């Protein structure tokens, strides 16, 4: 079943890259008592994700944070090393890069996407959500090939 507005974020952890290497972080640490904009991308360093989706949030980070958002997070079914390198490549220092390495969080949300036909295995569908104290208040799931309802300018309007 796919997560929907009004649902609580599942209690599943992520990995993040730190100066000391990968570190585990719980969903509670990310979402509890915070307003979070979370975007999910099919893969770090992929064209739409690197040229359009994440850059929109890098450019609009201050405007999003000024709307009362505590954290802007970008999640992908990649490992923490890849997410850390992508963060540096994209100048995304204001964005928390969450690695869902095994796709467990993505699967629990009901937002997994089988991209085996492209040699990418199971990944996340492209989506954006606003989460207020662990409760989803907005969810925009993209149609294949689109970056609309999860784009930074769209999310800004939803805040």
49 is catalytic: yes
Q: Which of 16, 30, 49, 130 is catalytic?
A: 49
CB-based burial, 10-49: b 16+ in 10 Å, e otherwise: eeebbbbbeeeebeebebeebbeeebbbbbbbbbbebebb
On whether the CB atoms of residues 25 and 15 are closer than 8 A, the answer is: yes
How far apart CA 70 and CA 104 sit, in angstroms, is: 24
How far apart CA 150 and CA 26 sit, in angstroms, is: 23
How far apart CA 157 and CA 49 sit, in angstroms, is: 21
On whether the CB atoms of residues 40 and 125 are closer than 8 A, the answer is: yes
Active site residues: 49
């Amino acid at each position: 079943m796919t997560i929907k507005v009004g649902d609580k974020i599942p209690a599943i952890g992520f990995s993040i890259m730190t100066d000391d290497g990968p570190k585990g972080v719980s969903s509670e640490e990310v979402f509890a008592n915070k307003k979070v904009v979370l975007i999910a991308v099919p893969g770090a360093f992929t064209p739409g994700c690197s040229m359009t989706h994440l850059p929109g949030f890098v450019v609009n980070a201050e405007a999003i944070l000024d709307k009362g958002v505590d954290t802007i997070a970008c999640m992908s079914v990649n490992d923490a090393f890849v997410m850390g390198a992508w963060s540096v490549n994209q100048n995304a220092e204001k964005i928390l890069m969450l690695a869902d390495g095994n796709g467990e969080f993505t699967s629990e949300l009901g937002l997994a996407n089988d991209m085996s036909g492209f040699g990418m295995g199971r990944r996340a569908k492209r989506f954006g959500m606003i989460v207020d104290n662990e409760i989803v208040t907005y969810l925009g799931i993209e149609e294949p090939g689109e970056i609309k309802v999860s784009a930074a300018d769209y999310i800004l309007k939803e805040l």
